[in-house]
Amino acid sequence: MSHANATLTQRTRLRLARLIVEQGWTYAAAAKMFMVAPKTAKKWADRYRCEGPAGMADRSSRPRRSPTKTPTKVVRKIVRLRWRHRLGPVQIAGRLGLAASTVHAVLVRCRINRLCRIDRVTGEPLRRYEHDHPGSLIHVDVTKFGNIPDGGGWRYVSKQQGFRNRRATDTDRRKGKARGPLIGTAYVHTVIDDHSRVAYAEICIDEKAANAIGVLRRAVAWFADHGVTIERVLSDNGSAYKSHAWRDACAELNLKHKRTRPYRPQTNGKIERFHRTLADGWAYARFYDSTQQRNLALPP
């Protein structure tokens, strides 16, 4: 395929070369017909004489030698400083005595010019993966949100008013009036498909194995209703996912269970990012005057 600015395509180059080599046209006449320079016409004719039709293909314009290219040892030093200390081009240039533009060019060439492409913990380039079809792998995890007292929580009504609302809710419960939600924690069990990012979420009262298994069963059934058969499940090393009950449930559902490496949440990063979306787009997106109101806003 010719580059974007090419005047001649491979087929047109071949026609030009054959006019000169086989029909005896002059370089100037052929060049005038195809609206190129005589030097260009001679180039394609010479290639046709030496290589035939195969010589009409594009070749790399990269030079055979690059005397001013940054040495490999210097490139390694730049990459090492970027990975280990996550320094910018100006800082690296100051340490190595180079121009910042040179450092930036090396970082771009190595595809580490953006810190978002580097793992924050190890400094290594991020290795992203995605399974090739829906159901090949699902991620499961639990995220927690504090319940909201009657009248709203401290994020929107200030800490002083939020504490007063919480005390009022607790006082009403001690009097026997079941008014408002329980003050405590809402555990959102989430299941997300690795390929399609389709998510299934439920709000539970705890993160124990019984609730985790119940969510898994209902999620597998929900995906099956949408024509997706689950094959593998990936979780962290929480107690619910290390239990014998979870292992037996996976065997019953014909799922292969995999766990992430300890203290390595990046492996389960798709669901961790979805939890941040839940927090920004649902849990803390607007004012709720009760937990029940927030729970009703989750399905939409």
Same domain for 143 and 285: yes
Q: Does the structure show a pLDDT above 90 at 290?
A: no
Q: Is the pTM of this model over 0.85?
A: no
Residue 255 is classified by DSSP as -
Statement to judge: residues 229 and 275 lie in one domain: yes
Dist CA 166 CA 215 (whole Å): 30
* Domain contains 277: yes
Is there a single domain that holds both residue 51 and residue 93? no
The pLDDT value given to residue 269 = 86
| Count of other CB atoms within 10 angstroms of residue 206 | 14
Which amino acid would we find at residue 6? A
Q: Looking at the domain assignment, is residue 177 inside a domain?
A: no
Q: Is 141 helix (H, G, I), strand (E, B) or coil?
A: strand
pLDDT at 98: 93
Using a 10 angstrom Cβ sphere, with 0-12 exposed, 13-18 middle and 19 or more buried, the burial of residue 186 is: buried
Query: Domain range spanning residue 102?
Result: 72-117
Q: Same domain for 113 and 213?
A: no
Whole-angstrom distance, CA of residue 297 vs CA of residue 145:
14
Do 82 and 20 belong to one domain?
no
How many C-beta neighbours within 10 Å does residue 211 have? Answer: 17
Taking only the tens place, the pLDDT of each residue in 199-208 is 999 999 899 9
CATH of the domain at 197: 3.30.420.10
Residues 210 and 260 reside in one and the same domain: yes
Average confidence (pLDDT) over 78-103: 90
Q: Whole-angstrom Cα distance, residue 46 to residue 56?
A: 10
Of the chain, the percentage scoring pLDDT greater than 70 comes to 90
Residue 164 lies in a domain: no
| One domain for residues 213 and 279 | yes
Q: Write down the pLDDT at residue 119.
A: 67
For the chain, the farthest-separated pair of C-alpha atoms sits apart, in whole angstroms, at 108
pLDDT-derived band of residue 285, with 50, 70 and 90 as boundaries? confident
User: Does residue 3 fall inside a structural domain?
Assistant: no
Is the same domain home to 76 and 52?
no
Question: Do 288 and 142 have their domain in common?
Answer: yes
Answer yes or no: is 174 within a domain. no
Average pLDDT over residues 104-133: 78
Verify that 201 and 235 share a domain, yes or no. Answer: yes
Residue 282 lies in a domain: yes
Q: Which of 289, 292, 1, 5 is nearest to 151 (CA)?
A: 289
Q: Give the C-alpha separation, 16 to 25, whole Å.
A: 9
Q: What is the pLDDT of residue 234?
A: 94
Residue 292 phi, psi (nearest 5)? -60, -40
In the block, residue with structure tokens 């979420």: 201
* Residue 106 exposure: Cα atoms within 13 Å on the Cβ side: 25
Q: What is the pLDDT of residue 6?
A: 66
User: 145-159, 174-188, 284-298: lowest mean pLDDT where?
Assistant: 174-188
Cα(220)–Cα(138) distance, integer angstroms: 10
24 found inside a domain = yes
Residue 63 lies in a domain: no
Distance from C-alpha of 190 to C-alpha of 209, rounded to nearest angstrom = 14
Per-residue model confidence as pLDDT tens digits over 233-252: 999 999 999 999 999 999 99
Runs of H (alpha helix) within 110-243: 154-157, 159-174, 209-225
Q: Are residues 21 and 98 in the same domain?
A: no
Residues 285 and 204 in one domain: yes
Helix H segments across the chain?
10-21, 27-34, 38-51, 72-85, 89-96, 100-109, 154-157, 159-174, 209-225, 244-252, 269-278, 291-296
Q: Which of 81-85, 175-179, 224-228, 275-279 has the lowest mean pLDDT?
A: 175-179
Angle, helix 100-109 to helix 89-96, in steps of 10 degrees: 120
Residue 115 has pLDDT above 80, yes or no: no
Query: 199 in helix, strand or coil?
Result: strand
Number of domains in the chain: 3
